[in-house]
């Protein structure tokens, strides 16, 4: 398959790109900053420049081209403002879904976060706005089952530990952590198996082998 990874220079995105290429897929890596192009080419990806905060769905649909699946892994990142949590983590995900629909790309995987629906609606704290942004984006994606074969992945606290290859998944799981490499492996398995269609789940480190856990979704 040819898979577009939006937010392609993020840590999970880069790990995912490597894993997808190792599995024989081709990767279009969508990034905002042209300075990241060379390093993504070194990974083996085909970089495309797009600013989600400036693009229209039509613009992005043209840049995605003829891909078979889209992974939304973009985010404003640590240290960003509450406003950018909304314009990128929420609105960027929605714009990407709009673009996928315009380009007739059904498979759409979102990297969200554990516990996002517990946000405090009355708080303007940046973290609470981040949770709100993810929650509202996820809700929008869940309403697109007629046109998108979506999956929403909500990982626990992210670490840079080595991959374990084992996870715990469920609609809701006890909060915990998970290596970014394992999150990438879960997404790669979802795409390979065409699993988890119209499913939203939380995932942390656990005892079940990733392939087995994904197969049960």
Q: Catalytic: which of 72, 108, 119, 130? A: 130
Helix axes 57-64, 91-102, angle to 10 degrees: 60
Q: Is 127 among the residues known to form the active site?
A: no
φ, ψ of residue 110 in degrees (nearest 5): -115, 130
Q: Which residues are catalytic?
A: 130
């Amino acid at each position: 398959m040819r898979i577009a990874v939006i937010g392609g220079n993020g840590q999970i995105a880069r790990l995912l790109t490597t894993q997808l290429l190792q599995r024989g897929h081709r990767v279009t890596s969508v990034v905002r900053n042209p300075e990241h192009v060379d390093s993504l080419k070194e990974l083996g990806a085909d970089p495309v420049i797009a600013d989600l905060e400036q693009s229209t769905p039509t613009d992005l649909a043209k840049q995605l081209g003829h891909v078979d699946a889209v992974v939304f892994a973009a985010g404003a990142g640590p240290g960003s403002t509450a406003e950018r949590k909304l314009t990128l983590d929420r609105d960027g995900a929605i714009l990407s879904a709009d673009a996928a629909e315009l380009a007739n790309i059904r498979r759409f995987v979102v990297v969200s976060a554990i516990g996002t629906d517990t946000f405090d609606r009355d708080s303007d704290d940046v973290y609470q706005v981040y949770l709100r942004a993810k929650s509202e984006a996820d809700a929008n994606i869940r309403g697109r089952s007629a046109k998108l074969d979506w999956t929403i992945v909500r990982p626990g606290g992210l670490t840079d530990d080595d991959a374990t290859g084992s996870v715990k998944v469920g609609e809701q799981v006890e909060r915990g952590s998970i290596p970014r490499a394992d999150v990438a492996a879960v997404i790669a398995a979802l795409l390979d198996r065409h699993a988890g269609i119209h499913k939203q789940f939380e995932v942390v480190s656990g005892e079940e082998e990733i392939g087995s856990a994904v197969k049960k979704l």
